Amino acid sequence: MDADGLSRRPHDVLEDNGISESESQQIQQFTSHLLTSSSPLREIVKETVEATCQKHFISQNCEQDSYLGYVESLSMQSSAVPASFEEQDIECGVSLLQKYSQADLRRLQREDPIISQVIELLESEERTSTSLKGNNPDLQLMLREWDRFRLRNDLLFRTRMSDGQTVFQLVLPEVVRPLVLQKLHDDMGHLGIERTLDLVRSRFYWPRMSLEVERKIKTCERCVRRKAQPNKAAPLVKICTTRPMELVCMDFLSLEPDSRNTKDILVITDHFTKYAVAVPTKDQKAVTVAKCLWDHFLTHYGFPERLHSDQGRDFESHVIKELCTLINIRKVRTSPYHPRGNPVERFNRTLLSMLGTLQDKDKTHWCDYVKPLTHAYNCTKNEVTGFSPYELMFGRQPRLPVDIAFGLPVRDCKTSSHSQYVKNLKPRLEHSYKIAIQNAKKVAKKNKKRFDKVIRESTLEAGDRV
């Protein structure tokens, strides 16, 4: 039975009896639930519906062997909706994320042998106690941070300054620390020590946190088995940019075909912010490049000033040139046989390393993990800029599943209007861009100095073949 058939079903039209809009909406939800739900509130038989209809003076307008007409008629009477249904929220999905309420976190903090003592001292306004001297080393480390602890809603936080703003770190009980490390390392693509530590530090605090994060990553089976020692050599000449979308780079990354015969990834990065977009593709044709570039990047983030790629046929085709001409983008390319000239190569190595940490059963459909892993990369601090690509691109911190699980507040949300938000955002972005440029120059100078130590420059004379 379809909607057209239901609209033609005969039934008595009742006059308006003053049903409110909320009651009408509840009736529609109840009727829809009875007709379409794969898991109804309970099994409904014809006799039950018939008795309900008789009670509410609803006549049957369908054949005796079907009770669909009774259910349809129920939509005409608000009093026929069971009270139990009115109090029930319709669940659209089941969350797989373990969540902790404020009460849960308060209980866990007060059950923790170290944190509970700090809370008691704060509540009694005593910095130390003679009975605590020479006690647990972790407690002594906590007491050194005394001036930075705050109680908010009976939860213990540690304050930390970041880019001129106060960040409240939830003091994490020992029992949930493994879960946090799993969410911010394993589930974020097995990133390195600095990136993982930055994710943890921006949200939580506990004694010896840095050592515990380092130990976790150095003993992570998938990291040890997959990741090789990184190549620390850097390009001799640094490509300089000073703002987002000044230079966008793209390249193809090829892997073994997955179960759907997907074997290529088109990688697009903004050079200044390091923000990356990765799109799995089945081929490297110019039409595929143009469509992916338009659908997944240009229509979302705008048109860059320059588009950088290697000299592959897929990037140097007439289609790409026409697209760049149409939207006034200057097309530039790398030198032949010099892949280092394309900054996207660095992200390619990172993405390959992250995909390599997948379990064997997941590698057969690796394309399903490309976008989540790319988002994880965008949410972690970049060693060159000192900011996460997400923050430089959008001017705010990303909200991660672990923030939802522990009920952490959204940062930078003290605005009351659109104009006030823009007013606050502009100087914050300008400050972030200034710091990012300074950090990038420092890293470039350091890399150039290290690179120049191990190369021998080739001196060219007039008449030499090159």
- Chain segment 355-373, per-residue pLDDT in tens: 888 888 888 889 999 999 9
* Radius of gyration from C-alpha coordinates of the chain: 30
Counted residue by residue, the chain has a size of: 466
Query: How many Å separate Cα 378 from the centre of its chain?
Result: 8
Residues 6+ apart with CB under 8 A from 93: none
Return d(Cα 407, Cα 157) in angstroms, integer: 13
Residue 444's pLDDT is what? 75
- Chain segment 142-181, per-residue pLDDT in tens: 888 888 999 988 899 999 887 778 889 999 999 999 999 9
The CA-atom distances, in angstroms, between 341 and each of 235, 252, 400 are 8, 14, 33
Residue 391's pLDDT is what? 92
Provide CATH code, domain 247-378: 3.30.420.10
Nearest one of 87, 76, 95, 96 to 41, comparing CA atoms: 87
Check whether 83 has a pLDDT greater than 60.
Answer: no
Residue 34's pLDDT is what? 57
Is residue 422 within 8 Å of 121, Cβ to Cβ?
no
Top-level class of domain 102-226: mainly alpha
For β-strands 330-333 and 149-152, DSSP reports them as unpaired
What residue ranges of the chain are covered by domains with CATH 1.10.340.70?
102-226
Is residue 140 within 8 Å of 151, Cβ to Cβ?
no
pLDDT tier at 426, thresholds 50, 70, 90 = confident
Residue 384's pLDDT is what? 87
Residue 80's pLDDT is what? 52
Residue 446's pLDDT is what? 76
What residue ranges of the chain are covered by domains with CATH 3.30.420.10?
247-378
The helix (H) or strand (E) run that includes residue 301 is helix 299-301
Alpha helix locations (H) across 112-252? Answer: 115-124, 137-144, 177-181, 193-201, 209-218, 221-226
Nearest one of 85, 80, 35 to 57, comparing CA atoms: 80
Return d(Cα 221, Cα 372) in angstroms, integer: 21
Arithmetic mean of pLDDT, 210-218: 90
Return d(Cα 322, Cα 329) in angstroms, integer: 10
Alpha helix locations (H) across 75-132? Answer: 83-86, 102-111, 115-124
**DSSP readout, 212-261?**
HHHHHHHT-HHHHHHPPPP-----SSPPP--STTSEEEEEEEE----TT-
Residue 61's pLDDT is what? 47
| pTM reported for the whole predicted model | 0.61
- Chain segment 312-371, per-residue pLDDT in tens: 888 888 999 999 999 999 998 887 666 667 888 888 888 988 888 888 888 888 999 999
pLDDT tier at 30, thresholds 50, 70, 90 = low
Both structure tokens of 412: 């930078």
pLDDT tier at 33, thresholds 50, 70, 90 = low
Check whether 249 has a pLDDT greater than 90.
Answer: yes
Phi, psi of 169 (to 5 degrees): -95, 125
- Chain segment 256-301, per-residue pLDDT in tens: 888 888 999 999 999 999 999 999 998 999 999 999 999 999 999 9
Nearest one of 306, 232, 302, 246 to 274, comparing CA atoms: 246
What b/e string do you get for 338-367 counting C-beta neighbours within 10 Å, with b at 16 or more?
A: eeebbbbbbbbebbebbbbbbeeeebeebb
pLDDT tier at 59, thresholds 50, 70, 90 = very low
Nearest one of 368, 240, 250 to 309, comparing CA atoms: 250
Check whether 304 has a pLDDT greater than 80.
Answer: yes
Check whether 39 has a pLDDT greater than 60.
Answer: no
